[in-house]
Amino acid sequence: MRRVLYPGTFDPITYGHIDILKHASSLFDEVIVGVFHNPGKVPWFPTETRVALIQEAVRDLNNVRVDSFEGLLVDYYQRESCDAVIRGIRNSQDLLGEMAMAHMNASLLPTIRTIFVPTSAANAFVSSTLVKDVAAHGGDVSHFVPPCVLRALAAKLNG
């Protein structure tokens, strides 16, 4: 069985993330979405909420499991017996950052494999940061996030 890890903060999950997940789920037996707690970021949504939103957003992808982790990606990768890490690429800046992370992970765990998956052109500009910024300023983000995320963003901004 081929198991891959798709790590990220997913604050919140977007259609760009889901695009990558659909590609990965068609290629591998199991995809673990690893919601990472990054102490360097202040997320809008707690980890548990992000996990729940992802679970709802990908409920039709039967081979996708959502989990959360803290600490080093390589440790979680080994604990879950993964065969590769999936990373989404929107543009050249993403590629540069992801290459640096892939090389760092490989220096910590030489057997780790990283697979870069480009997002579709329609999602090439979509990021969680931009979605939050547009939503915070009253813009319509319904084309960028699933309905469950749209509701969570509205609740966050209204409450």
Q: What is the pLDDT of residues 37-96, one digit of tens each?
A: 888 888 999 999 999 999 999 999 999 999 999 999 999 999 999 999 999 999 999 999
Q: How far apart are CA 159 and CA 155, in angstroms?
A: 6
Q: What is the pLDDT of residues 85-141, one digit of tens each?
A: 999 999 999 999 999 999 999 999 999 999 999 999 999 999 999 999 999 999 999
| Runs of H (alpha helix) within 9-46 | 15-27
**Catalytic residue numbers, as ranges:** 17, 41, 90, 128
* pLDDT at residue 32 tops 90: yes
Residue 32 phi, psi dihedral angles, 5° rounding? -100, 120
| Per-residue pLDDT at 63 | 98
Residue 57 tokens read as 């957003």
Instruction: Give residue 67's domain range.
Output: 3-158
Q: Is 25 helix (H, G, I), strand (E, B) or coil?
A: helix
Number of domains in the chain: 1
CATH number of the CATH domain containing 34: 3.40.50.620
